[in-house]
């Protein structure tokens, strides 16, 4: 593998780990908001958002070479 390729791979992995951490924070904020919501429509919307963010986090985790974060609700 060339030095350029290795450097690019490392930069992609580093960037992916940053994205995964940020998404994890958004997930935590969304879960807190969900816990305080009683409106069924808002709850469903937030659950959909959580599902999307968890999928994104898994993808970034694969690119970043990190293990998947737990799926705790």
Tokens of 56: 């994104």
Task: Supply the pLDDT for residue 69.
Answer: 46
Phi/psi of residue 32, nearest 5 degrees: -65, -40
What's the confidence (pLDDT) of residue 64? 74
pLDDT recorded at residue 72: 42
User: 10 Å Cβ neighbour count for 23?
Assistant: 21
- Give the pTM: 0.76
Neighbours of 45 (CB within 10 A): 13
User: 15-70: per-residue pLDDT in tens?
Assistant: 998 999 999 999 999 999 999 999 999 999 999 999 999 999 998 878 777 544 44
Q: Is 11 helix (H, G, I), strand (E, B) or coil?
A: helix
């Amino acid at each position: 593998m060339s030095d350029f390729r290795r450097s690019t791979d490392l930069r992609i992995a580093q960037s992916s780990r940053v994205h995964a951490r940020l998404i994890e924070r958004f997930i935590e904020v969304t879960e807190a908001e969900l816990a305080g919501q009683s409106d069924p429509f808002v709850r469903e919307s937030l659950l959909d958002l959580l599902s999307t963010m968890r999928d994104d986090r898994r993808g970034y985790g694969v690119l970043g070479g990190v293990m998947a974060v737990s799926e705790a609700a």
